[in-house]
Amino acid sequence: MTGEHRAAALQRVLAEDPAIAELGIDATIGQTPAGDVTIVLSGQVETAERRSAIEQRVRDEAPDCHVVSDILVIEPTLPAEPEVLP
């Protein structure tokens, strides 16, 4: 399977696995200079538990790959200034 097909399959898994259900995670497959296959995950989730679950699911799905996670956990902080609309 090519890297592109593999990335597509991973994104389907992350959306359709009931334990994950994340549609906004991007998986990019690359290669280190040493030839190791790397999967870079990016996107945003609500909790650290969800980020860990995604990372573990991808490791289980692709045990031969090095998984790099750039997934951000977003904190529901207080907003700054309101926007005044005309």
Partner 1 sequence: MIRVAAVGDVHVDADVVGRYRPALDQLATAADVLLLAGDLTRHGTTAEAECVAKEFGGLAVPVVAVLGNHDYHSDQVERITEILDEAGITVLEGSGTTLRCGDQRLGVAGVKGFGGGFSGRCATAFGEPELKAFVRHTELSAARLADALSTLDCDIRIALTHFSPVPDTLVGEPLEIYPFLGSSLLGEAIDAGGVTLAVHGHAHAGTERGTTPGGVPVRNVAHPVIGDAYRVFHLTAGAPVEPT
Contact call for residue 63 and partner 1 (CB under 8 A): no
- DSSP H or E segment with residue 71: strand 66-73
Residue from the set 7, 39, 50, 65 that interacts with partner 1 by CB under 8 A: 50
SS3 label, residue 28: strand
For the bound state, the minimum distance from the C-beta of residue 9 to partner 1, rounded and expressed in Å, comes to 17
HSE value, Cβ hemisphere, 13 Å, CA-based, for 12: 6
| φ, ψ at 25 (rounded to 5°) | -100, 130
Residue from the set 33, 35, 63, 79 that interacts with partner 1 by CB under 8 A: 79
Residue from the set 4, 36, 49, 70 that interacts with partner 1 by CB under 8 A: 49
**CA-to-CA distance for 45 and 59, rounded, in angstroms?**
18
Contact call for residue 76 and partner 1 (CB under 8 A): yes
Contacts to partner 1 by CB under 8 A:
18, 21, 23-24, 43-44, 46-47, 49-50, 74-80, 82-86
